[in-house]
Structure 1
Amino acid sequence: MRFSFLPATAAFLAAYLLFDWVSYVEPLLGLNITPWNPDTALGLVFWLVYGRRAALPWFLALVAGEVLVRGMPLGWPGTLLTAAWLILGYGLLGEALRHVLGGLSIFSSRESFYRWLAIVAAGTMLNAVGHISLLAGLGMVPWSEWLRAVWRFGFGDLVGVVVSMPLLLKLADPVTREQLREATWKPETLGYLALAIFVLWAVFGYIVTSEFKHFYFLFLPLIWAASRQGVNGAVLVVFVLQMAIVTLVRANHANNITVSELQMLDAVLALVGFFIGIVVDERRQVAEELKQTLRLAAAGEMAAALAHELNQPMTALAVYGKACEHLLARGEAGDLLKNAIGQMINESARAADVVKRLRDFFRTGAMQLENVGAADLLSGIVQQFRPQFAEHGVQLVIAEMPPLLVQVDRLQIELVLRNLLANALDAVRMRPAGERSISVTAENAGGKLRFTVEDSGDGLTQQALGRLFEPFVSTKATGMGLGLVLSRSIVEAHGGSLWAEVAAHGVFRFILPALDSGE
């Protein structure tokens, strides 16, 4: 939630004057024409939060800065006139940002970042042209110095906004402010901030004579922060580095430093850090979206397993319910009725256990392991597919199962077998009648249980095999391309592996650790 306007205004005025005083370095002609203006960034953030109500506080802050920081070199008329002009220019820039951004986020995507940067660059330079022209008209800036003053003031505003506004925007939003607070006190954050200060001391220890020869070392903590914590890490390091640089310049009275070089390096440092941070955040967002999509796809795949597992207890419940009705109709109240009711309770508990296992799988990926034989794993799934095989004239061959036990989550491994059989059925449907066959074998492979599903459909090429287990890659018009991805993940979670082979027909295999070899 936003702070109430009056306390926020008081805090804004105090922070604005502090920023104005800290950044009042190398003023041109004794005026507010400096190489870095973070106070402009603060004013724009205040405008984005409070809209046009920010105009009066910002005007008062500009006047107070002229009086308290610079001694009011323009006199009262000039001070009030230039402050009014700046408010007009900054206000138009603020309204443009409110219209384009539609909120406090400039890092939702690279496109929004580029739009923000373009608006800020155009707005600050246009505002500088008007402001310096006004000062020249008042006789405070010689026309011969007009271009130099425009460039210095405009680029100073641009660098100040680019460097400082991202962090200030995040502090203005309650959600991102909390994220920054949590990130700041992580050991890794403190580590790269400490590295930033150390590198800064090493690079600018003798700032008057360094001439920025080793400035590129400052990219080390910046890249570390941006690559690990995205935009949040980048804005922290950029702001700390720039505040420290200006403080060092001010403390060392480094009047012979090339201002344009300092401005350019400041801007490049910030832009590189923000761009890396945005890319990192976008990749993380895509990964989260993919993870969610996989979960939803898993829900669809597991629904069939759930229906199969619930079918037996629900059928049994109906049978025992009917039995209870008959017993009650006969006036039976003895052991037979109690036994039927007990069986109903047991079957309902079995159904609840199936649902709980599915829920735990989606929440945490937890598995409920049990010892299951190879024949038991396959029998239930094959029975589900027999009607479809008969409908499409598919010959199913089941080899003799070895006497091996595996410790698995039965629901999940049955899902894998269901996927492989469903894919095999799709592959053989297009074959002529009499040439549609699927075989399932299981064998002892060095003390492990290896299942093989083969079909008479078209086999895989080397090129197709290379992308077979990538998400959203499917050879079926209605497929999502997630079944094999989920199946491989499940098998690997059980300590096994799943793969396909290049052949003239379809061949898929997966292997699971066995509890005993049967030898």
Structure 2
Amino acid sequence: MPFRNRLSALVRAPLWSPLPWVVAGAYLALFLVLDWVSFGRPLEGLHITPWNPQPALAVALLLASRRLWWVVFVALLAAEVLVRGVPGDLFVMTLAAAALTCSYLAMAAAFERTLGEGWHFRGGRDMSWFLAIIVIGAMFSSGVYVGAYAVGGLPPPGPLWLAMARYWLGDVVGMLVTLPILVAMMDAERRQRLWHALRQRQAWLIGALIVAQLGLLLERGGGSFDLSYLLLLPVIWASMRFGVAGAVLASLLTQIGLIVGTQFGPHDDRLVFELQLLMATITTTALLLGVVVDERARTDAELRRTLRLAAAGQMSAALAHELSQPLNAIGLYAQALDLLAPKDRGPSAEEAARLPDVARRMAAEARRASEVIKRLRDFFRSGDTRLEPVAVQQLVEDALRAQATRVHSSGARITTALPENLPEVWADPVQLQVVLRNLLANALDAALDAAVDASLDTAPDAARATPPGAAAAARPARPAPVAEVGLQALADDRQLTFIVTDNGLGLSPAMAAAILEPAAGGVSTKAGGMGVGLSICRAIIEAHGGRLWAEPGPQGRLCFTLPLGNPVHDGDPIARAQP
């Protein structure tokens, strides 16, 4: 339940219900306690103190419910009479309490309007509004409070602006330190962040450092606090480590230490005023830094969620990409079965002899589809690769066999250059088949497209080169362009390198860099292609400890490497993928 949860249920109950009166009594008691605790070094006459956390409590209550404005008014009046003992008639005290209540109501309305329901600091803009409202609201409060007593015949002993400045600074520091904690305690999520920070050892170390620095500072005190800037370091540390939660906790501890130290030490009021200015600077810096840290953490979390969604989408695209071939093959085999087993007559002896072979091929394609789904699912879930020794020659033959029908029907050529006695590689055979089939299929696409384009370009040139009326036999015969793809393997002591080439249109440097990226950020070189095949290939090769890249040039050239040797015995990092 956002922001106005349990407290909201209490304060929004009917006035005749005991619940609002419980909240009012608890608030009144806490307000008087805070006023009594912070009542130190008051300015003579108006009893203005250097730190006022009570306005933060009032604004927090009004954020929960405007209906309890009367509780804020009564608490202000009670504090003037019971704690501060400000001399003056009841009318002036009532006027000052009413003016402060209006100021706190305006601040609560401004907070809710600018920060919205839930009152979350979503970024630097929200924190800037928070600081601006506190500064302006405290300025208004100081004016109406000091002005009310001055009009009532109780002016401050010194200049009016100095009393207003002291009141303003006490309210600013008190609200900066106290209000974020009060609001956090009213929200389950932010309350959990505070408890999480308090449970960390690093938080206690930061607290010990703050206490030690406060002790050193106040012991040296005397006439100046020349090392006071050191208090900024642990507060910044807390903000960097725990965000806004760390900032408010460290600032609160620092403020309590300063108040206690200045209460019981012989320090000049001017130095106390300077320390409060320092405290305002420290708290403002900590809050601004903390909100940046929290914003970055939220951005990182959103990025992780986006990456998980992108990985799921890439896996879906990969499965669609890889399943298209076996599913098309199964469909062709099903058509072949339909032709071999006509309905109007029984199959002939030749047809009957071919039926088992077609059925076996259908089953093989179905098994391949199932294995591709399983292996790619495991790979995209956790990056797992099931390594086993794989014969390179057999791997290449299987990849060539998958392209045989297409090569035969298109008239293309695939040439191989494989040295004898190629060593085995430790790899996932299914995933490596995905890589080889994709690279060969892409190379065939590029070479066939280039051959078609070349045929279309040369036909008009030949027609224009032949004079009108010339005999057809006189025209020079030009061979039709042939799509050619090459597959080469090279081995050295450390790795095996595969090179796939084609006589297509080649790759520009920009295309060579973009072709290995998914379609969301890169390109697809096929008409109607999804742009995921090569990005999947690169991910698989890198998971095996190798590298895949495209080389720019007048013809297509893609290369990938695989490490040689047993990764389990050699201590290779990819050994973790071994089942």
Q: Same fold (TM over 0.5)?
A: yes
Instruction: Tell me the amino acid that sits aligned with residue 46 of structure 2.
Output: L
Are residues 1:20 and 2:35 paired?
A: yes
* Distance in 2 separating the partners of 1:238 and 1:416: 61
SS at 2:125's partner residue? helix
Range moving further from structure 2, 192-201 or 488-497: 488-497
Report the CA distance between 1:33 and its aligned residue. 2.0
Report the CA distance between 1:86 and its aligned residue. 0.6
Deviations 1:80-127 (A, max 9, x none): 221111101111111111111113434211111112222222222123
Report the CA distance between 1:316 and its aligned residue. 8.1
Instruction: Tell me the amino acid that sits aligned with residue 444 of structure 1.
Output: A
Deviations 1:332-357 (A, max 9, x none): xxxxxxxxxxxx99999998887676
Tell me the equivalent position of 1:337: none
Report the CA distance between 1:281 and its aligned residue. 2.1
Counterpart pick for 1:271 among 284, 297, 306: 284
Trace 1:183-332 onto structure 2 (pairs within 5 A).
183-209=197-223, 211-307=224-320, 308=322
Deviations 1:42-66 (A, max 9, x none): 2212221x22123122222212322
SS at 2:426's partner residue? strand
8 A Cα contact 1:22 1:247, kept in partner? no
Range moving further from structure 2, 261-270 or 503-512: 503-512
Are residues 1:158 and 2:180 paired?
A: no
Instruction: Tell me the amino acid that sits aligned with residue 51 of structure 2.
Output: W
- Count, aligned residues: 492
Range moving further from structure 2, 139-148 or 389-398: 389-398
Q: Please, which runs of 5 or more residues in structure 1 have no aligned partner?
A: 327-343
Trace 1:27-176 onto structure 2 (pairs within 5 A).
27-48=42-63, 50-142=64-156, 145-176=159-190
Tell me the equivalent position of 1:2: 6
Range moving further from structure 2, 271-280 or 83-92: 271-280
Instruction: Tell me the amino acid that sits aligned with residue 66 of structure 1.
Output: E
Counterpart pick for 2:506 among 457, 460, 474: 457
1:374/1:254 Cα in 2 relative to 1: closer, same or farther (>3 Å)? farther
% same residue? 33
Range moving further from structure 2, 296-305 or 407-416: 407-416
Trace 1:389-404 onto structure 2 (pairs within 5 A).
400=418, 402-404=422-424
Report the CA distance between 1:206 and its aligned residue. 3.5
Instruction: Tell me the amino acid that sits aligned with residue 425 of structure 2.
Output: L
SS at 2:563's partner residue? strand
Report the CA distance between 1:241 and its aligned residue. 1.0
Deviations 1:393-434 (A, max 9, x none): 998766549443224495599479859986997999799646
* Distance in 1 separating the partners of 2:262 and 2:532: 57
* Distance in 2 separating the partners of 1:309 and 1:205: 76
1:72/1:256 Cα in 2 relative to 1: closer, same or farther (>3 Å)? closer
Larger radius of gyration: 2
8 A Cα contact 1:208 1:252, kept in partner? no
TM-score normalised to structure 1 length: 0.76
SS at 1:205's partner residue? helix
SS at 1:258's partner residue? helix
TM-score normalised to structure 2 length: 0.69
8 A Cα contact 1:368 1:408, kept in partner? yes
Tell me the equivalent position of 1:446: 493
1:27/1:177 Cα in 2 relative to 1: closer, same or farther (>3 Å)? same
1:249/1:378 Cα in 2 relative to 1: closer, same or farther (>3 Å)? farther
Q: Please, which runs of 5 or more residues in structure 2 have no aligned partner?
A: 12-18, 342-361, 455-480, 568-579
8 A Cα contact 2:487 2:499, kept in partner? yes
* Distance in 1 separating the partners of 2:556 and 2:262: 71
1:35/1:366 Cα in 2 relative to 1: closer, same or farther (>3 Å)? same
Tell me the equivalent position of 2:351: none
1:195/1:504 Cα in 2 relative to 1: closer, same or farther (>3 Å)? farther
Trace 1:295-444 onto structure 2 (pairs within 5 A).
295-307=308-320, 308=322, 365=382, 367-371=384-388, 372=390, 400=418, 402-408=422-428, 410-411=430-431, 414=434, 433=454, 441-444=488-491
1:356/1:480 Cα in 2 relative to 1: closer, same or farther (>3 Å)? closer
1:150/1:196 Cα in 2 relative to 1: closer, same or farther (>3 Å)? same
SS at 1:406's partner residue? strand
8 A Cα contact 1:442 1:451, kept in partner? yes
1:418/1:240 Cα in 2 relative to 1: closer, same or farther (>3 Å)? farther
SS at 1:446's partner residue? coil
* Distance in 1 separating the partners of 2:410 and 2:68: 73
Range moving further from structure 2, 224-233 or 448-457: 448-457
Trace 1:459-498 onto structure 2 (pairs within 5 A).
459-460=508-509, 474=522, 492-497=542-547
